[in-house]
């Protein structure tokens, strides 16, 4: 199985209430970083490693996600339209050669339920899953290789949580090192960027099931969940402060997740 045939599922249906300043009018994955939706940036991470087939599980204000991709070629390329007939001829095509399925998985469906509703889309093959509200420079090709090497049912990417405050190194009362916005040095958390075998869906009973609770807890207890340790950049977008941080990184021209895709 090549990278091109491994599908990437992006969970993009939540309400994003902790970022209410932005999500009152659009779903969180459509909040813009540098003029493009976070969802587009996230897909670019996968596409830069050769994964270009996506399934977006939408719910809250999902019509905005559908509109974005349905009209992507028109918004990012040139065209001629005959107004009487409505016939459109594209004069240039966007560089983005992705195949995107946008699927309504219900307004109040939980993360596990959304994934379960996509069973017909993922089929009988290994697939990848992530959340639509965070970014990282995860080497997803290496992640997939790691998953295949251990032969278990599921792999989760383990990350260090970003520290809320600057990191001080002290000798006595003297500060010997100061690192602003450091990453936490201890503890690992779920950073998303999963790789699953289809058997994971058997652990999800219905729409009300959160992927992070019973399914992954049961899979872990059965010894079928492995962790891929990511030591690089990872940043969720749960607050306006975090959104502005991602904006600043993109504007600097040196965003860690940036690719040429």
Average of per-residue pLDDT values in the chain: 88
How far is the C-alpha of 186 from the C-alpha of 119, rounded, in Å?
36
Average pLDDT over residues 220-230: 91
Give which of 130, 113, 152 is closest to 6, Cα–Cα. Answer: 130
The pLDDT of residue 22 is 67
Q: What pTM was computed for the model?
A: 0.87
| 3-class SS letters over the chain | CCHHHCCEEEEECCCCHHHHHHHCCCCHHHCEECCEEHHHHHHHHHHCCCCCEEEEEECCCHHHHHHHHHCHHHHCCCEEEECCCCEEEECCCCCCCCEEEEEECCCCCCHHHHHHHCHHHHCCCCEEEEECCEEECCCHHHHHHHHHHHCCCEEEEEECCECCCCEEEEECCEEEEEECCCECCCCCEECCCEEECHHHHHHCCCCCCCCCCHHHHHHHHCCCEEEEECCCCEEECCCHHHHHHHHHHHHCCCCCCCCCC
The domains located in the chain, with CATH, are 3-251 (3.90.550.10)
Asked if 103 and 168 touch (Cβ cutoff 8 Å), the reply is: no
Residue pLDDT, tens place only, 226-255: 999 999 999 999 888 899 999 999 999 889
* CB contact set of 238 (below 8 Å; sequence gap of 6+): 18, 19, 133
Average pLDDT over residues 23-39: 89
Asked if 137 and 232 touch (Cβ cutoff 8 Å), the reply is: yes
Please check the confidence at residue 174 and state whether its pLDDT lies above 60.
no
Residue pLDDT, tens place only, 89-137: 888 878 888 999 999 999 999 999 999 999 999 989 999 999 999 999 9
């Amino acid at each position: 199985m090549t990278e091109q045939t491994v599908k990437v599922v992006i969970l993009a249906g939540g309400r994003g209430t902790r970022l209410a300043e932005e999500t009152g009018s659009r779903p969180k994955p459509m909040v813009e970083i540098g003029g493009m939706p976070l969802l587009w940036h996230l897909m670019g991470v996968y596409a830069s490693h050769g994964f270009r087939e996506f399934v977006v599980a939408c719910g809250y204000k999902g019509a905005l996600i559908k509109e974005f991709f349905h009209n992507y070629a028109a918004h990012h390329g040139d065209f001629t339209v005959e107004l009487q007939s409505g016939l459109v001829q594209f004069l240039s095509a966007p560089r983005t050669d992705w195949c995107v399925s946008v699927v309504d998985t219900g307004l109040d469906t939980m993360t596990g339920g959304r994934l379960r509703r996509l069973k017909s889309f993922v089929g009988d093959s290994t697939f990848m899953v992530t959340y639509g509200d965070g970014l990282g420079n995860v080497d997803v090709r290496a992640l997939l290789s790691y998953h295949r090497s251990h032969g278990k049912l599921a792999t989760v990417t383990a990350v260090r949580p970003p520290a809320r405050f600057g990191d001080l190194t002290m000798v006595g009362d003297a500060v010997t090192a100061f690192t602003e916005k450091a990453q936490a040095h201890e503890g690992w958390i779920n950073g998303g960027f999963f790789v699953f075998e289809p058997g994971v869906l058997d652990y999800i009973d219905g729409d009300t099931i959160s992927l992070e609770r019973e399914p992954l807890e049961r899979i872990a207890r059965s010894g079928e969940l492995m962790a891929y340790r990511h030591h690089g950049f990872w940043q969720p977008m749960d607050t306006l402060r975090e959104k502005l941080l991602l904006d600043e990184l993109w504007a600097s021209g040196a965003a860690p997740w940036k690719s040429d895709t």
